[in-house]
Each structure stands twice: as structure tokens, then as C-alpha cells.
Amino acid sequence: MSQTIDDTAISPNRLTTSVTGALKRGTATEVTLSARQHTFTIDEPAGLGGTDLGANPVEHLLAALASCTVITYQVWAEKLGLTLDGVDVALTGDIDLNGFFGTGEGVRAGFQGIDLAVTLTGPESDASYRRLEEAVATHCPVADNLTNGVPVRTTLELAPV
């Protein structure tokens, strides 16, 4: 048996999510997106041809990893019976724009690497928080997608003019 929360289908062991997006007509890089009842804008900074009306796609990728990491720490601290007073994260990633623009042969378009710094606050022992760190490394969905890769299947439709 599955239930639906807005546009998200949840069954006992499966969550299916969806996002839709479209280029705002008349702009070069402004994309309007919807996820369930939430709408948001992604754009590029002026230096990359945008108008900076929102964080860019790779900043959203870092934000997804940051938020998923924090949530996973919270969930697994509770599962392990650990007290966790705070979770702070800071992420950085470097992209060689030669890959994006196609000006560097063999240069990948994505991040060359991501650095994730986590600061935990709470009364538990180092060993307890190290055990929590291992659980998060194993169970964070966004980290799993980034470190293990996920197949992306693309279909292309041409709209009638």
C-alpha cells in the first residue's frame, strides 16, 4: 500500500520524488522549478551569463549534500540513542570551467572534488560520535548518490513549433 504526499509517492520501503523545471522565457539561465508545493529559482551569477536571481545548480548540489548530511546525523543519532545538540556543515567544491564550456580536453564538467566539514556538538564520547559518523557515511542518500553514482536516463522530446 502506498500513500501520496503532494507529488511524492511513499510506499513501505520506497520514496519516489519528482521535480519539474523550465527556462524562464527571455532569460539566458533563469530556471523556475517545482518540487511538490515548493517553487524556487536557480540562476547563474553574472560572470556566467546569469542575473544571479538564485543559487546556481552546483550550489544547490552542495546544499543538497549539506542538508541531507545534517538530517542524516539527526536521524541516526536518534536511532543510536545519542544526544546531539548541534550539527554544522561547511562544503566547498572546485569546478574547472573548461569542462563545462568544452574548452579543455579530458576535463570533467563537474566538481573535481567536494570537501565536507562537519562539526558536532553534544555530550557523547568521541567513540560514540565516530560510530555516528560511520552510520551517516553509510546511510546519507545524497552522499551515496555522489560517491557511488546513479544512472541517469535522458529522454528528449521535440515540442511542436
Would the pTM of this model clear 0.85, i.e. be above it?
yes
Alpha carbon separation from 15 to 55, 56, 62 (Å, rounded): 26, 26, 22
- For residue range 41-62, what is the model confidence (pLDDT) as tens digits? 999 999 999 999 999 999 999 9
Alpha carbon separation from 25 to 32, 52, 151 (Å, rounded): 10, 16, 30
Question: Which is more confidently placed, 7 or 20?
Answer: 20
Phi, psi (deg, nearest 5) at residue 10? -125, 125
Within 13 Å and on the Cβ side, how many CA atoms surround 157?
2
Q: How far apart are CA 41 and CA 53, in angstroms?
A: 7
